[in-house]
Amino acid sequence: MFAKAASVCLGLVLPIFVMASPAEAQEPTPAKGAYTLDLGHTRLLFRVSHLGFSRYTALFTDLSADLQFDPDAPTDMAVSATIKVDSLETHYPDPALDFNATLTGPEFLDAAQFPEITFVSTGIEMTGDTSANVTGDLTLHGVTKPMVLAVTYNGGWADMPLDVGARIGFSAIGTFNRSDYGVGFGVPAPGTTMGVSDAVEVILEAEFVKPRA
């Protein structure tokens, strides 16, 4: 029984160990082409100021994205993403209040009428060797407006025997005002913090994969 348990643990840990191995164990240059989001290694958070006392943080758990990746021409790259609004997770501790349902209800995101949030890139401006401002159209609550994400390319590999193929990773951060998208409930009156901030900070950690042929 011990041997069986050890075998199971090894099977779970080994892929993680290999993915964290030094760069010399990797193929250094990920290939150009179409990549898809690896949801298992992706987190999309948002933060708002709550009464000025804290930055309240929640996340979406169901999202997908497609990336046209070209390491030799990064300004030609393009990305599109879709987020399921009803996948919002607040981890609210009181079971008497379904706070997920409150934030996805008609006073806020209104998932019944607007079930998806989308982002489609429209331009890329390099700000460093591995960083860029990615401008795109953010569609939220039925309204489409431009948004800028500050994106950092964290690296990747072209292939790894225990991985599906090529893998690349990014970090991104951006801010928008929710009232611009018709979600103004609870925004503090001018000059106060009595409410939930208009500004919403978006934080993304994402990995994309391109399976080998």
Query: 135-174 pLDDT, tens per residue?
Result: 999 999 999 999 999 999 999 999 999 999 999 999 999 9
Euclidean distance between CA atoms 89 and 87, whole angstroms: 6
Q: 112-129, pLDDT tens digit by residue? A: 999 999 999 999 999 999
Instruction: List b or e across 137-174, with b for residues whose CB sees 16 or more CB atoms inside 10 angstroms.
Output: ebbbbeeeeebebebebeebbbebeebebbbbbbebeb
Q: What percent of the chain has pLDDT over 70?
A: 87
Amino acid occupying residue 102: T
pLDDT confidence tier of residue 27, bands split at 50, 70 and 90: low
CA terminus-to-terminus distance, the chain: 38
Domains present along the chain, CATH in parentheses: 31-211 (2.40.128.110)
pTM, rounded to two decimals: 0.86
Question: How buried is residue 204: exposed, middle or buried, by Cβ count under 10 Å (0-12/13-18/19+)?
Answer: buried
pLDDT score at 20: 47
Which of 1-5, 82-86, 173-177 is the least confident region? 1-5
Number of other CB atoms surrounding residue 120 within 10 Å: 14
Percent of the chain predicted with pLDDT > 90:
85
Three-state SS string over 157-178 comes to ECCCCCCCEEEEEEEEEEEEEH
Closest-CA residue to 77 (of 130, 28, 147, 19): 130
Give the rounded distance of the alpha carbon of 52 from its chain centre: 25
The pLDDT tens digits for 189-208 are 999 999 999 999 999 999 99
Q: What distance in Å separates the CA atoms of residue 207 and residue 146, rounded to the nearest whole number? A: 24
Q: pLDDT category, 71, cuts 50, 70, 90?
A: very high
Beta bridge partners of 112: none
Contact predicate 109/128, CB 8 Å: no
Q: Is 104 helix (H, G, I), strand (E, B) or coil?
A: coil
